[in-house]
Chain A
Amino acid sequence: AQSVTQPDIHITVSEGASLELRCNYSYGATPYLFWYVQSPGQGLQLLLKYFSGDTLVQGIKGFEAEFKRSQSSFNLRKPSVHWSDAAEYFCAVGATGANNLFFGTGTRLTVIP
């Protein structure tokens, strides 16, 4: 069965500190993987995606993620967090020809000055 696990419900980091948000997936086919960000009261915006090739992908706003097939993980990282990064982050998995994406339950990021 397809599923996405984001084990951290809420993370608090200081501005300027590094960040890593965890994502583990279970998917029968070769996965497409995504990270979306949702600011309060807004829809979801795509941060980055992995379809194939280089397992380290770069996204918008200075985020990157690394696909590790052996660990079924796709963790999101940022070297230096800004106050504007405070939001909720969702990991999602899909596949070629699939009609649906499966979303994790989200990780809320709080940034303290």
Chain B
Amino acid sequence: NAGVTQTPKFQVLKTGQSMTLQCAQDMNHNSMYWYRQDPGMGLRLIYYSASEGTTDKGEVPNGYNVSRLNKREFSLRLESAAPSQTSVYFCASKRQGPGANVLTFGAGSRLTVL
């Protein structure tokens, strides 16, 4: 019972490099999310995908792109990393239907941009 799986767990980049964070869920959830967590700021939504084939911007989308590859997978791409993108990134998913506002989170990906 894997739930939400994120890779990689840790990554160090140099300014200007690109990378993709991968996320997969095995719960047949429709909606998927990418958050970033910074000290003193809680979790902020970067992008979300309400259903397969759709993506929308959250609070802090600048510098990121996403792809909802299929129902299971939702990737987050940094095209040209900046030190301000040093953060812990969390993927989450939730199902549709009554009482469906409960997010299930992955374990996180810690990214450092030098």
> Would you list which residues of chain B between 73 and 111 have a CB under 8 Å from chain A?
90, 92, 99, 101-108
CB atoms of A103 and B42 under 8 A apart: yes
Nearest A residue to B48 by beta-carbon distance?
A99
Looking at chain A, what size class is its interface with the partner chain?
20 to 34
Query: Which of A41-49, A57-65, A67-75 lies on the face that meets chain B?
Result: A41-49
Closest chain B CB from A53 CB (angstroms): 11
Question: CA of A100 to CA of B92 in the docked complex: distance in angstroms?
Answer: 11
B101 & A43 in contact (Cβ 8 Å cutoff): no
How many whole Å from A50's CB to the nearest CB in chain B? 11
Complex: A99 Cα to B58 Cα, angstroms:
9
> Any chain A CB within 8 A of the CB of B53?
no
> B107 contacts A100, CB within 8 Å?
no
Chain B positions within 8 Å of A, measured between CB atoms, are 4, 31, 33, 40-45, 48, 50, 56, 58-59, 90, 92, 99, 101-108
20 contacts between A and B (CB under 8 A): A32-B101, A34-B101, A41-B107, A43-B108, A44-B103, A45-B105, A46-B102, A46-B103, A51-B99, A90-B43, A94-B101, A95-B101, A96-B101, A99-B48, A100-B33, A100-B45, A100-B48, A101-B101, A101-B103, A104-B42
Bound CA–CA A32/B94 (angstroms) = 14
Residue in B42, B50, B104 whose CB lies within 8 Å of A105: B42
Count of A-B residue pairs with CB < 8 Å? 54
Q: What B residues does A94 contact at CB under 8 A?
A: 101
Contact B105 A43 (CB under 8 A): yes
CA distance in complex: A82, B4 (Å): 28
CB < 8 Å neighbour of B31 from A36, A51, A99, A103: A99
Q: Which residue of A lies closest to B103 (CB)?
A: A101
A residues in contact with B107, CB < 8 Å: 41-43
Known: A46-B102, A51-B99, A94-B101. A100 touches B58 (CB 8 A): yes
For the complex, what is the distance from the CA of A70 to the CA of B74, rounded to whole Å? 39
The residues in A between 12 and 32 inclusive whose CB is less than 8 angstroms from any CB of B are 32
> Do residues B58 and A105 form an inter-chain contact, with CB atoms below 8 A?
no
